[in-house]
Amino acid sequence: MGKIQAGIIPVTPFQQNCTILFDGESKEGVVVDPGGDVATIVQVVQENGLTLKEIWLTHGHIDHAGGADELREVLHIPVIGPHEADRPLLENLELQAKRFGVEMAVRNVVPDRWLNEGDTVSFGNHVFEIFHCPGHAPGHVIYVNREQAFAHLGDVLFNSSIGRTDLPGGDHATLLASIRDKVLPLGDEMGFICGHGPGSRIGDERRNNPFLKGL
């Protein structure tokens, strides 16, 4: 087994970081948050000779989950996550798109498996722990691989910012508690990819992110 490699494909008008995680040797992996532009995702997978095993979702917003049902159909692989608290969001993705007024192909989706705090998911030998981190969305989960100090944090924590909390089910105090109790304890050396913009390290955010002052 090789190192975990990550390829980012910005998708949807929201420029969401659809992320392909794969093993550098076996070329097997998963896709995290295929929000849309499914044809592009499939093209990247084929051009790079990758085999995707599962679709992992961090939460139920359109830019993250809008293409999951279509990609499941095209690749014949299951949709895993998020926490079931996001079921109402995922069952109304088409409505979300209308509310945002965005022109994009969106389908409602019901995952094949919901995730809970403490669950694990994997591809090859790479195991990821699940942490339930509500606040940006009620069912938001993050995916953590301790062995290679790598995490996908979705829209919980960004490079120099945090997730917005003005959408249905969002709550600022809850988000800060998730960051304080679940994300920061992962340790300063933990590197991460997030849902929008460049990734970072937990330690850099703990020291420099203005939204984390006082946590």
Q: Which residues bind Zn ion (CB under 5 A)?
A: 61, 63, 155, 195
Helical axes 38-47 vs 68-75, angle rounded to 10°: 40
Asked if residues 53 and 60 have their Cβ atoms less than 8 Å apart, the reply is no
Closest to Zn ion by CB, 10 vs 191, is: 10
Closest to Zn ion by CB, 2 vs 168, is: 168
Question: Which positions ≥6 away from 19 have C-beta within 8 Å?
Answer: 6, 7, 8, 9, 31, 32, 33, 152, 193
Question: How far apart are CB 197 and Zn ion at their closest, in Å?
Answer: 10
Question: How far apart are CB 64 and Zn ion at their closest, in Å?
Answer: 6
Closest to Zn ion by CB, 11 vs 50, is: 11
Q: Which residue is nearest to Zn ion (CB)?
A: 61
Residue 54 and residue 52: Cα distance in Å, rounded? Answer: 6
Question: How far apart are CB 20 and Zn ion at their closest, in Å?
Answer: 17
Structure tokens at 209: 């992110």
Closest to Zn ion by CB, 54 vs 63, is: 63
Question: How far apart are CB 4 and Zn ion at their closest, in Å?
Answer: 22
Residue whose C-alpha is closest to residue 4's, from 151, 182, 201, 198: 151
